[in-house]
């Protein structure tokens, strides 16, 4: 699960870096087109053509800031927040470890029917893990939590079915 998170974050990061590289390429090859494009956007945002021209002129003297500005304004990318695959994988691992422990809680308590409670606690743990991960993805808490819960339920059902087929009690 941590590996899956790492892969998806890495892929996302690579895609964003590729877009940045393409933008840099445009800035190198068609600086005038890029300048007028940015000026159009600034004029639409309410600046006068004169101000827009001065902004784009000043930016074109600063390659680093210029790429940053184009990325934000044209692509909607914040180059400083491309996402960290390592962080996402670490969070996923911790969430998974907690998720694996929570269902054991009913067995530690003097309660009547642990099986039912185990299922309930498992569901809650899955939902909480998914909801926690939503912090690092564009998805909402409810979406992430529900998705994690459904994936977990399907995985559990498959495990029990396969376990039943090969005669192992789960
Ligand atoms: Zn551009």
- Structure confidence by residue, pLDDT tens digits, 85-102: 777 777 777 777 776 777
Check whether 159 has a pLDDT greater than 80: no
**Residue that wins the pLDDT comparison between 44 and 107:** 44
Q: Which residues of 98-122 are buried (b: 16+ CB within 10 A; e: fewer)?
A: ebeebbeebeeeeeeebeebbeebb
Ligand 1 centroid to residue 64 C-alpha, Å:
13
Model confidence over 99-138: pLDDT tens digits? 677 777 777 777 666 677 777 777 888 788 777 777 666 6
Ligand 1 centroid to residue 80 C-alpha, Å:
17
Q: What is the DSSP letter of 78?
A: -
Q: Which of these ranges, 49-58, 111-120, 140-149, has the smallest mean pLDDT?
A: 111-120
Q: What is the CB neighbour count within 10 angstroms for residue 24?
A: 15
Ligand 1 centroid to residue 63 C-alpha, Å:
12
Ligand 1 centroid to residue 125 C-alpha, Å:
45
Across the chain, mean pLDDT equals: 81
Ligand 1 centroid to residue 139 C-alpha, Å:
28
Size of the chain, expressed as the number of residues it contains: 170
Nearest to 134 by CA among 150, 115, 119, 147: 147
Within 8 A by CB and 6+ apart from 160, the residues are 170
Ligand 1 centroid to residue 84 C-alpha, Å:
25
Ligand 1 centroid to residue 66 C-alpha, Å:
9
Nearest to 115 by CA among 124, 106, 123: 106
Q: Which of these ranges, 12-16, 40-44, 152-156, has the smallest mean pLDDT?
A: 152-156
Ligand 1 centroid to residue 27 C-alpha, Å:
6
Tell me how far apart the alpha carbons of residues 126 and 9 are, in angstroms, rounded to a whole number.
20
CA distances from 95 to 12, 91, 99, 130 (A): 21, 6, 6, 8
Most confident of 1-5, 52-56, 118-122, 144-148: 52-56
Query: Is residue 124 classed as helix, strand or coil in its secondary structure?
Result: helix
Check whether 31 has a pLDDT greater than 80: yes
Tell me how far apart the alpha carbons of residues 53 and 55 are, in angstroms, rounded to a whole number.
5
Tell me how far apart the alpha carbons of residues 105 and 40 are, in angstroms, rounded to a whole number.
60
User: How much is the pLDDT for 112?
Assistant: 67
């Amino acid at each position: 699960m941590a590996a899956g998170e790492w892969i998806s974050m890495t892929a996302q990061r690579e895609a964003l870096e590729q877009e940045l590289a393409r933008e840099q390429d445009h800035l190198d090859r068609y600086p005038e087109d890029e300048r007028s494009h940015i000026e159009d956007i600034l004029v639409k945002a309410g600046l006068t053509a004169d101000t827009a021209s001065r902004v784009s002129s000043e930016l074109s003297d600063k390659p680093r800031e210029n790429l940053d500005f184009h990325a934000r304004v044209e692509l909607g990318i914040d180059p400083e927040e491309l996402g960290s695959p390592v962080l996402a994988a670490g969070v996923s691992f911790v969430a998974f470890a907690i998720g694996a422990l929570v269902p054991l809680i009913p067995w530690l308590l003097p309660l009547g029917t642990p099986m039912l409670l185990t299922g309930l606690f498992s569901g809650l743990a899955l939902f909480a893990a998914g909801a926690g991960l939503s912090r690092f993805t564009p998805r909402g808490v409810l979406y992430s939590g529900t998705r994690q819960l459904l994936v977990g339920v399907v995985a559990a059902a498959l495990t029990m079915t396969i376990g039943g087929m090969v005669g192992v009690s789960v």
